[in-house]
Structure 1
Amino acid sequence: MTTNRQNGSLYVNIQNKIATIEFGHPASNSLPSDLLLRLTNELNVLSMNNLVSVIILKSEGDKAFCAGASFNELIAISNLEEGKKFFSGFANVINAMRTCSKIIIGRIQGKTVGGGVGLVAACDYVLATEKASIKLSELTIGIGPFVIEPAVTRKIGLAATSALTLDATSWKTAYWAKEKGLYAKVLENSKELDEEVDVLANKLASYNPEALVQMKNVLWQNTNHWKELLAERAKISGQLVLSAFTKKALAKFAK
């Protein structure tokens, strides 16, 4: 079932030490500011919850995992403050995933674009289907994936990030993403994906919670400067979205 709520939906279910966060939006599970804020807050709350060891991050439906930023909100940005605030939404989610004390499993059932790729990269372990192609199309509208770049590069390396960013009109397959290290496994369909996610989450939930917390710290070492770094990147994107090039490109897309 997919949501028809304009601000999207966010549901959290906790069972057997496993918290499942499911987000949804009628526009291919894109992420408006309100939904980004709710996701950030939920991650921060779960980080402190001693009854949770593992988080599964998923989106609604069986089509796109995430279409990235809200197109309507991008078009509406009229000054630097608004632009910086909008892109800070993605910065805040990535930082919340980074500092969350729980291991985060990404369940990726379909195509993912832009900021959605950043969300995937900030997961600790990612399982996907063959349909889970990825694309960073930001350069085509005159901006760039500045906020999510550190998370993506940390996962797949600079060369792959360059290829993904500069070839801004092409989809990279799920197998390309696996080869580069973004996905740990690629499954044939959603049924197999759910089974695999379930097995992994239950295994992790059975391990020593203290060991998982320490492991999470180790996996994310050398990223303590990201709060400042991603805020700086949000400012770059906020400036670029006001450029004549971007305004023209967005108006063209809007038609």
Structure 2
Amino acid sequence: MIHEIKNGYVKTETHNAVTTIEFFHPQSNSLPHRILEELVHAIHGAGNERDTRVIVLRSAGDKAFCAGASFDELSAITTKEEGLHFFTGFAHVINAMRKCPKFIIARIHGKCVGGGVGLAAAADYTIATEGADIKLSELAVGIGPFVVGPAVERKIGSAAFGHLAIDATMWRSADWAKRKGLYAELHSNATDMDESVSRLSYTLAHSSPDAMLEMKHMLWKGTEHWDQLLTERAAISGRLVLSTFSKNAIASFKAKKA
């Protein structure tokens, strides 16, 4: 099943109890609100599908895995309510991944920025290639990684998360991400990565659904308050994105990309 969005899509396919959810946007797989909404629907749908035992989350192409928030939509926000609405989209995706009763494997084939790092962190098991460097660039545009922060901090710890959040213009290597725990595996090329994704998917597809569900509950223990927490964090981002600093920084970034 494919849900087309202006200049992008979210596609879902199920084979042999493995559901693959793929998203695409021509701006380096950035995440406008409609793609965030469709990701939530796809994750909920796969999580509730009896024929699905495990989910693989991936993006299309062979360059960036995800460039984070859509700068076109960020620049169009004019009120706190619009800001809350936009950033709540990221909250809903992370919470959908957290509450999904199936394990989610993230396939990270390229660089991750902002919300893309959040997706990698919210997955239950993340497999990447050596080119999958990461950056939390939010502070550089006048906001901060407030919504994705809990998921990233949970995976890599508060110190490493602080390093990423504070030095917002510095890329951290995929090896750094592996050593900090964001990536479970790191491969030298996409072929080896895909072989590992297939191996683990096959194994989980033949594992006990009840046991995996109990493991998921165990691994995410202590995050039950995230529905409220991430919404509160979205409100902070939604307010800060209206600042003159943020508006100027986003405009400058868009001008460089033009």
Q: Considering the TM-score relative to the shorter chain, is it more than 0.5?
A: yes
Letter in 2 for 1:174: A
CA distance in 2, matches of 1:54, 1:109: 19
State whether residues 143 and 240 of structure 1, in contact with CA within 8 Å, keep that contact through their aligned partners in structure 2: yes
Does structure 1 residue 211 correspond to structure 2 residue 244?
A: no
Partner of 1:128: 128
Structure 1 portions without partners, runs of 5+: none
CA distance in 1, matches of 2:54, 2:178: 22
Letter in 2 for 1:163: H
Partner of 1:228: 228
Cα distance, 1:155 vs. partner?
0.4
Q: Deviations over 1:15-71 (max 9, x none)?
A: 111100010000000111001000001111111111111000000011100000011
Letter in 1 for 2:126: V
Query: Any residues of structure 2 matched to 1:136-155 within 5 Å, and which?
Result: 136-155=136-155
Q: Deviations over 1:65-106 (max 9, x none)?
A: 000001100000000000000000000000000000000000
Cα distance, 1:7 vs. partner?
4.6
Give the TM-score taking structure 1 as reference length.
0.97
Letter in 1 for 2:100: C
Partner of 2:104: 104
CA distance in 1, matches of 2:253, 2:174: 26
Letter in 2 for 1:211: A
Letter in 1 for 2:52: V
Cα distance, 1:6 vs. partner?
3.1
State whether residues 7 and 35 of structure 1, in contact with CA within 8 Å, keep that contact through their aligned partners in structure 2: no
Partner of 2:74: 74
Does structure 1 residue 84 correspond to structure 2 residue 79?
A: no
CA distance in 1, matches of 2:155, 2:14: 28
State whether residues 7 and 32 of structure 1, in contact with CA within 8 Å, keep that contact through their aligned partners in structure 2: no
SS state at 1:30 partner: coil
Percent identity for Structure 1 against Structure 2: 56
State whether residues 9 and 35 of structure 2, in contact with CA within 8 Å, keep that contact through their aligned partners in structure 1: yes
SS state at 2:211 partner: helix
State whether residues 29 and 66 of structure 2, in contact with CA within 8 Å, keep that contact through their aligned partners in structure 1: yes
Cα distance, 1:250 vs. partner?
1.3
Query: Any residues of structure 2 matched to 1:11-22 within 5 Å, and which?
Result: 11-22=11-22
Partner of 1:55: 55
State whether residues 55 and 104 of structure 2, in contact with CA within 8 Å, keep that contact through their aligned partners in structure 1: yes
Query: Any residues of structure 2 matched to 1:176-255 within 5 Å, and which?
Result: 176-255=176-255
Cα distance, 1:254 vs. partner?
2.1
SS state at 2:157 partner: helix
CA distance in 2, matches of 1:72, 1:127: 30
State whether residues 146 and 233 of structure 1, in contact with CA within 8 Å, keep that contact through their aligned partners in structure 2: yes
Aligned length: 252
Does structure 1 residue 25 correspond to structure 2 residue 19?
A: no
CA distance in 2, matches of 1:165, 1:64: 20
Cα distance, 1:5 vs. partner?
5.9
State whether residues 87 and 234 of structure 1, in contact with CA within 8 Å, keep that contact through their aligned partners in structure 2: yes
State whether residues 5 and 35 of structure 2, in contact with CA within 8 Å, keep that contact through their aligned partners in structure 1: no
Letter in 1 for 2:105: I
State whether residues 5 and 34 of structure 2, in contact with CA within 8 Å, keep that contact through their aligned partners in structure 1: no
Q: Deviations over 1:116-161 (max 9, x none)?
A: 1001100000000000000001111110000000000000000000
State whether residues 56 and 107 of structure 1, in contact with CA within 8 Å, keep that contact through their aligned partners in structure 2: yes
Cα distance, 1:240 vs. partner?
0.2
CA distance in 2, matches of 1:176, 1:120: 14
Q: Over aligned residue pairs, what C-alpha RMSD do you find? A: 1.0
Letter in 1 for 2:22: E
SS state at 1:210 partner: helix
State whether residues 56 and 104 of structure 2, in contact with CA within 8 Å, keep that contact through their aligned partners in structure 1: yes
CA distance in 1, matches of 2:5, 2:98: 28
